Amino acid sequence: MDKNQLSEGIVYLVGAGPGDPGLLTLRARSLIEGCDVLVYDHLANRKLHDWASAGCERIDVGKSPGRHTMEQSEIGEILVAKAQDGLKVVRLKGGDPFVFGRCAEEMLALDEADVPYEVVPGVTAALACAAYAGIPLSHRDFGSSISFLTGHEDVAKESLRVDFAKFAEVGGTLCIYMGMSKLEEIVEKLLVGGLSKDRPAAVVSQGTLPGQRKILAPLGELVEQARVGDLSAPAIIFVGNSIGLARSSTWFDRAPLFGRRIVLTRASGQKSKMRSRLEELGAEVIDLPLIKIEPAEDRKLVAEVFAGIATYEWVVFTSANGAKAFMEIFFRAYSDIRSFGPMRIACVGESTAEVLQAYQLDIELISQDSTAEGLAKELIGTDSLDSANVLVITGNRNREILVDVLEGVGRAIVDTLPVYQTDFADVLEAPVLSTFLKNGADAIIFTSSSTALSYVEQSDDLIFEGGARKPILCSFGPQTSKTLKENDLKIDLEASHPSTDGLIDALVEHFSASG
């Protein structure tokens, strides 16, 4: 192998943190964004994969109870082989690589193969779960030591490898990883070792994520309380006097949508202000794409429009998808943004405007409501349309009302340029489908008539299992509501005004009222 090629390859052993992507280090994010290969396990949040480039190779080496993707030796072989191919490899490991992350074994494999590597620390689960659950791990009056223990070091091993009876004598706070499958045995050994049944204890499951759950109980009642609460792995078990200072409610679970599972039906691969806002408010957001967006252009029409692009007085963008597709076509035709011309720009909603603002384009008009009707009214209010040449950027499913109003009431001369098409996505291809049908959700959001029609069309594949939460149906605005009603679907919630903020405000109000 060429020495220069070998010298370029490197492995980064990166801590993915406990779950919340916001707890990842800046160094870790930078490496994920620039890597050639992403090797990940199941405790690393899948959202982190979105930061990798489209061309990045993704390799799943995760282990979970009853499922072993590959042996540890095989993982080491992959890391060595990819680095020796001259690639930048990120080995993404849940929590911190050196805290029960088997980083030492992978380091040895890399050392033996003389492959360069770097270790990037991560926030370990015990510290993060305790903080998000409001559980102090130390207090000068209740405990001045913290011990990190593991219920087992390999999901394939059945026996405990830590003598918990001896650790009962240590005192302080015990933080026990990977112990849920052996919880009863662990508690029994701690009691045999001398800990009181009244010693404060806790279990935090799915820590730092919207689905986080916890129980606080005396050690003697912990097993039964965990069973009643149906807490499962991944989880951290805490035992110690300082745990008694914790409260049932914390800063994290007081978020207005905490514990709510919200389903978005938009096309996959799209940045979403709605997702970000819902997650900020504590919701668990899952994507169930019901539509797909694909480029679609009439080359002859594009050539005609671009030949006369300087003659338009307004260009109107009806969606973020249209804005993205248009700019891609534009830069195939022109290399300089100054070729855009003197057109004034109007957009439906903030999300559409943000696409164009990224190119340093000034937006003359952003409609308050994210509807064609709202934009048409505001454009007419500018008194600039009479005999004006207007270009409307559309998709294949855009309604004609915008063009009709601009031509009829505004007396504008309107050309339309379709640049993308919306089709139904096959719901059976959605990775979350089985989980969604098994567990259900609290709400499903329809942001367009297209998503509503796709839901109706594929209803036979969207039948919930017994015991699943039945979601309320939420509509982005009047037109989407009309489509749902025409198909005999009950609308439980409609945005106060057609916008992301309007819909989220309605969700918060609804769930606050329902408790």
Instruction: Tell me which residues are annotated as active site.
Output: 41, 63, 178
| H or E element that contains 412 | none
401 close to 280: Cβ distance less than 8 angstroms: no
Tallying the residues shown for the chain, one arrives at 515
Q: Which residues contact 344 (CB under 8 A, 6 or more apart)?
A: 313, 314, 315, 364, 365, 384
What secondary structure letter does DSSP report for 160? Answer: -
CA 259 to chain centre: 15
Nearest Cα neighbor of 172 from 149, 203, 205 is: 149
C-alpha–C-alpha distance, residues 133 and 277, integer Å: 22
Q: What sign does the dihedral 420-426-429-432 (CA atoms) show?
A: positive
Tell me which residue has tokens 């709202």.
Answer: 374
475 close to 447: Cβ distance less than 8 angstroms: no
DSSP string, 470-491: PPEEEESSHHHHHHHHHTT---
Pull the structure tokens for residue 118: 């770097």
Q: Which amino acid type is present at position 12?
A: Y
Nearest Cα neighbor of 447 from 402, 504, 378 is: 504
Nearest Cα neighbor of 274 from 48, 33, 498 is: 498
DSSP string, 333-376: H-S-GGGG-S-EEEESHHHHHHHHHTTTPPPSEE-SSSSHHHHH
